[in-house]
Chain A
Amino acid sequence: MRYLPALLVGRLVRFAVRLVRPGGGSALPGLVVSKLAPNLVYKTLNSFEHGLVIITGTAGKSTTTKMVVAIARAHGMVVFTNPSTANIEQGFFSTVVRQANLFGKVPGSIAILEMDEGHAASIVERIKPKTSVILNVFEDQLDRFVDPALVRDKLLQVAKATYGTVVLNADDQNCLLIAEQTHQNKEFFGLGKSLAKAVGESMSYAQTYQKEIKRPEAATEAISLNGRELQASVHGREVKLELPSRGVHFALDALAALSCSREILSEHLNLALATQVLNDLPPVFSRGEIREVNGEPCEFILIQNPISMQLNIDNLTKDQDQVFFAIGRDVHDPSWMWTVDLKNLKSVHTVSGFNYADAALLLAYKGVSALNVEEDYFKAIDEFFALPAPTHGMKTVLYSADSMRRLRRYLGITDPEDVERV
């Protein structure tokens, strides 16, 4: 009963936040409980019968975690996991507050958690994963991380803290450097050679500026990728599946998820079942999510860093004539946007968000036309969704996290699980 007072206070805070802001409140309860009972989350996370799985790296954490969780659940495992918006220490506390009984126990025999790469090193000082998945290192949030090599060092600490198997991306030299410095059991996933070559330019992992390490054999590897159709080999067995959204990054997420699931379930992994799960899985919200607004389909795409902006723009269908581009205040230093090649973005209809001026400057200097540059964000949203249906493609919203939250609240989309597969 030692955690009872802290848990009660945490739940009260969560209730109060949700009264004020429906759909919000993932961080504050965790902050409060982390002060009142700092050991609670670590004790909980170290107590699962089948251990803890950590999924981390710059990009693809949310989608990969969602895939692994769904596969494990389909195999009958009771899984404790965190929402994608709660992947730092306070978020873990919030998740525990929401799901724990009054003794601090959460349901589940295994924990599968997405973890922010910046917080990972300090968190694994106190919790030891049985399996860790290190997806990649891209240039991201340099105002915070300064140098991708420092992110790689943090992920190395996760690998070293793992007592079972480290699952790594065979195509990313950063992961191979991490692999060289760890003695743990290692499993690799990746694109096949020809596919890696075909998409090499857009999948530009952070450069290591060190002698190239020979790519190891990947036990889970793509054979072909055609739109959303992925054919892959998992420990010598072929699978075919349909990804929740198009794009090579989703293929890599699926390969990582299959590789991780193989580690968790070993010979009990039913590949036909896992494939079916991935075929049915809706996208994580705003990662290629399509939903109706005003009776018309609209695609919502989250831009988080140079690589997600690059891949998502590369994946836009041609002749897109109604793109909404909103960069919010979460983009503290918008410099990174200028490293992205915009050749596949012919025009933008509406530019808005807190950083609308930087976004519009980027488009102007890169030769992308912008019809409506609107400082007032809610006015921009109203005007965009009042437009008649586009002549090509569908309405497409490209937005950063802050702009995403504001737009979704404004449109009344508050449940992150409320995403359907199209």
Chain B
Amino acid sequence: MSDSLKLAVLYPGHLNLNGDAANFDVLQRRLEWSGVSSEIHLIEKPTRLESFDYVLLGHGSPDAWSQLADIDSDLIPKLVKLVGEGVPVMAVSSGYEILFEALNGSTTKHAERVSEFRDSDGVVGYVNSEALLPEITWIKNSLLTLFHGPVFAKNPELADKFLGDVFTSSKSSSSELSYVNDLAAASRRIAFED
């Protein structure tokens, strides 16, 4: 039995259109630099998700979601259950929209597409969506966000908040972390430079 934390990336073949899966690479590396081991599982078929410590649902195209519905029709109900139990689930863009609707029984309104960097209380990320949703929504320990791509690389504090107690209780003052945290600050600044 491994002591490593288990990180699940759901259907990267369908839901990694903007590099969302890299967020869990970022988590794994930050954990490693803090002395915590973890393993990433790429999930490509219906799987029990209870044993995972963190779960990622990325963004995909309409055609990708359509095919995925045939492959794993139970996926979203399983995630709703995990979110309710307090398991940290990260859901991005269309993944956010679909999971949010399932959690709230609501229908997301849409407007003209936004394709630009946005700042949400100091968290910076790229939005390319028509969904009228807040950039970031926390439900229990789960993070739902319109910010696609490697938002954790750009916003290490967000990554560490998502990791929760595991990270804050570890020794997290490595030189590698200082290096990437400084780069992340520069990256957030550059996002809004002309």
- Chain A residues with CB under 8 Å of chain B are 139, 142-144, 146-149, 207-210, 333-339, 354-358, 360-362, 364-367, 373, 375
Partner of A139, one of B17, B117, B153: B17
Given that A339-B16, A365-B29 are contacting pairs, would A355 and B190 also be in contact in the complex, using a CB cutoff of 8 Å? Answer: yes
Is residue B52 within 8 Å, beta carbon to beta carbon, of the partner chain?
Answer: no
- Closest Cβ of chain A to B119, distance in Å, is 15
Question: In the bound complex, do residue B184 and residue A142 qualify as a contact, i.e. CB atoms below 8 Å apart?
Answer: no
Is residue B120 within 8 Å, beta carbon to beta carbon, of the partner chain?
Answer: no
B2-41 near A? 1/0 per residue, CB < 8 Å: 0000000000011011110110011001000000000000
Q: List 16 A-B contacts (CB under 8 A).
A: A139-B17, A147-B63, A207-B13, A333-B126, A335-B126, A335-B149, A336-B19, A339-B19, A339-B22, A358-B154, A358-B187, A360-B183, A361-B183, A361-B184, A365-B29, A365-B153
Question: In the bound complex, do residue B18 and residue A361 qualify as a contact, i.e. CB atoms below 8 Å apart?
Answer: no
- Closest Cβ of chain A to B34, distance in Å, is 14
Bound CA span A210–B127, Å: 27
Given that A143-B128, A365-B153 are contacting pairs, would A357 and B183 also be in contact in the complex, using a CB cutoff of 8 Å? Answer: yes
Is residue B113 within 8 Å, beta carbon to beta carbon, of the partner chain?
Answer: yes
Bound CA span A364–B26, Å: 9
- Chain B residues with CB under 8 Å of chain A are 13-14, 16-19, 21-22, 25-26, 29, 61-64, 66-67, 113, 115, 117, 126, 128, 148-150, 153-154, 176, 179-180, 183-184, 186-187, 190, 193
Chain A residues near B22 (CB-CB < 8 A): 338-339, 365
Which of the listed residues B18, B21, B184 has the most CB atoms from chain A within 10 Å of its own CB?
B18
Bound CA span A139–B15, Å: 13
Which of the listed residues B17, B67, B193 has the most CB atoms from chain A within 10 Å of its own CB?
B17
Question: In the bound complex, do residue B63 and residue A357 qualify as a contact, i.e. CB atoms below 8 Å apart?
Answer: no
Question: In the bound complex, do residue A364 and residue B180 qualify as a contact, i.e. CB atoms below 8 Å apart?
Answer: yes
Smallest CB gap from B65: residue in A: A209
A-B pairs with beta carbons under 8 A, tally = 100
Question: In the bound complex, do residue B25 and residue A209 qualify as a contact, i.e. CB atoms below 8 Å apart?
Answer: no
Question: In the bound complex, do residue A209 and residue B179 qualify as a contact, i.e. CB atoms below 8 Å apart?
Answer: no
Bound CA span A143–B153, Å: 19
Given that A143-B126, A146-B113 are contacting pairs, would A209 and B61 also be in contact in the complex, using a CB cutoff of 8 Å? Answer: yes
Question: In the bound complex, do residue A142 and residue B18 qualify as a contact, i.e. CB atoms below 8 Å apart?
Answer: yes
Chain B residues near A373 (CB-CB < 8 A): 183
Given that A333-B149, A336-B18, A361-B187 are contacting pairs, would A210 and B176 also be in contact in the complex, using a CB cutoff of 8 Å? Answer: no
Smallest CB gap from B188: residue in A: A357
Given that A207-B64, A357-B186 are contacting pairs, would A142 and B128 also be in contact in the complex, using a CB cutoff of 8 Å? Answer: yes
Partner of A147, one of B61, B126, B179: B61
- Closest Cβ of chain A to B124, distance in Å, is 11
Bound CA span A366–B67, Å: 30
Question: In the bound complex, do residue B25 and residue A335 qualify as a contact, i.e. CB atoms below 8 Å apart?
Answer: no
Bound CA span A336–B63, Å: 19
Partner of A364, one of B63, B128, B183, B193: B183
Smallest CB gap from A336: residue in B: B19
Bound CA span A227–B13, Å: 30
Question: In the bound complex, do residue A365 and residue B180 qualify as a contact, i.e. CB atoms below 8 Å apart?
Answer: yes
Question: In the bound complex, do residue A209 and residue B26 qualify as a contact, i.e. CB atoms below 8 Å apart?
Answer: no
Bound CA span A338–B45, Å: 23
Please provide the 6 A-B residue pairs with the shortest distance between their CB atoms, ordered closest to farther. A335-B149, A338-B19, A338-B22, A357-B186, A357-B187, A209-B63
Question: In the bound complex, do residue A364 and residue B176 qualify as a contact, i.e. CB atoms below 8 Å apart?
Answer: yes
Chain B residues near A143 (CB-CB < 8 A): 115, 126, 128
Question: In the bound complex, do residue A333 and residue B180 qualify as a contact, i.e. CB atoms below 8 Å apart?
Answer: no
Partner of A335, one of B14, B19, B26, B190: B19
Question: In the bound complex, do residue B25 and residue A366 qualify as a contact, i.e. CB atoms below 8 Å apart?
Answer: yes
- Closest Cβ of chain A to B56, distance in Å, is 13
